[in-house]
């Protein structure tokens, strides 16, 4: 049986630079995984390959048994892969609720005219997502007035509204306060528990990674150096030397 997401001997070259170099990994349905590694190790390039932003130089990428290479980004999105970038991209002049109508309307449109006319269904879906991300009290606030952390959560909500089976989150806590970071960890765990969505998180904040309590994959020079739980990975001398400067994480 095929894995949910399979990455086999994946490579991406930019001239003489090997951004991803023979990377192999697999993700189970509903799994939560953190990818850590120093800047330039290929983490974001991996996401770009999965979502079709870049074509691979070699190797295989399969999602639900289907090869992703050659598909355009919108086709991969329609298969159920959603991505959040480092900088939140929301519609600042629209309210939080209005922001959610955009992906909900697009999702309904895929079901044809009947889906587009089902306004009550979209309204119910919007309220459910607002409750899930704890922004129901800000539903009528313009997105541009939200705090940085709240904008990050809203963008995660926009992904949820499209009903993905796999979410790729690129540094979701970048620029957040300690309180917002803690709330983001709780949000990700809640999403996984309540929706069963598989989630892959790229992150540098090791306290945040530890809070998620999920498997951790360490990337170095375009490959997975080590994969295991937080304690195993952080105790590995090679990981400490390559990523943590030889020091044990907090």
Detail the DSSP E strand segments found in 104-209. Answer: 166-170, 198-202
Q: What is the pLDDT along the chain (250 residues), one digit of tens a residue?
A: 457 999 999 999 998 889 999 999 999 999 999 999 888 899 999 999 999 999 999 999 999 999 999 999 999 999 999 999 877 778 899 999 889 888 886 654 444 434 434 444 556 777 888 888 889 999 999 999 999 899 999 999 999 888 899 999 999 998 899 999 999 999 999 999 999 999 999 998 889 999 999 999 999 999 999 999 999 998 888 888 776 565 444 4
Q: How far is CA 114 from CA 2, 77, 129, 231, in A?
A: 34, 22, 22, 51
Instruction: Give first-to-last CA distance, the chain, whole Å.
Output: 39
- Could you tell me if 158 and 102 are in contact, meaning their C-beta atoms sit under 8 angstroms apart? yes
User: How does DSSP classify residue 143?
Assistant: G
- Cα angle 167, 168, 171 (rounded to 5 degrees) comes to 130
Determine if the pTM surpasses 0.85. yes
Query: How buried is 56 (Cβ within 10 angstroms: 0-12 exposed, 13-18 middle, 19+ buried)?
Result: buried
Spatial separation of the C-alpha atoms in residues 7 and 24, rounded to whole Å? 5
């Amino acid at each position: 049986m095929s894995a949910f997401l399979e990455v086999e001997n994946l490579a991406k070259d930019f001239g003489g630079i090997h951004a991803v170099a023979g990377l192999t990994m697999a993700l189970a349905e509903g799994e939560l995984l953190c990818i850590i590694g120093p800047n330039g190790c290929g983490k974001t390039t991996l996401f770009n390959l999965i979502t079709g932003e870049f074509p691979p130089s070699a190797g295989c990428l399969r999602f639900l048994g289907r090869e992703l290479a050659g598909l355009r980004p919108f086709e991969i999105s329609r298969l159920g892969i959603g991505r959040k970038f480092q900088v939140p991209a929301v519609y600042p002049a629209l309210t939080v609720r209005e922001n959610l109508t955009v992906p909900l309307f697009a999702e309904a449109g895929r079901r044809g005219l009947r889906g587009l006319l089902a306004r009550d269904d979209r309204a119910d879906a919007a309220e459910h997502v607002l409750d899930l991300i704890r922004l129901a009290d800000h539903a009528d606030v313009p997105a541009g007035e939200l705090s940085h952390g709240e904008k990050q959560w809203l963008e995660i909500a926009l992904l949820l509204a499209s009903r993905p089976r796999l979410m790729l989150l690129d540094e979701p806590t970048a620029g957040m306060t300690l309180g917002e970071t803690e709330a983001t960890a709780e949000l990700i765990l809640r999403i996984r528990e309540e929706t069963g969505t598989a989630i892959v998180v790229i992150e540098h904040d090791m306290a945040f990674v530890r809070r998620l309590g999920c498997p951790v994959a360490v990337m170095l020079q375009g490959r997975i150096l080590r994969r295991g739980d937080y304690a195993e990975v952080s105790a590995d001398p090679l990981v400490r030397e390559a990523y943590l400067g030889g020091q044990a994480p907090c």
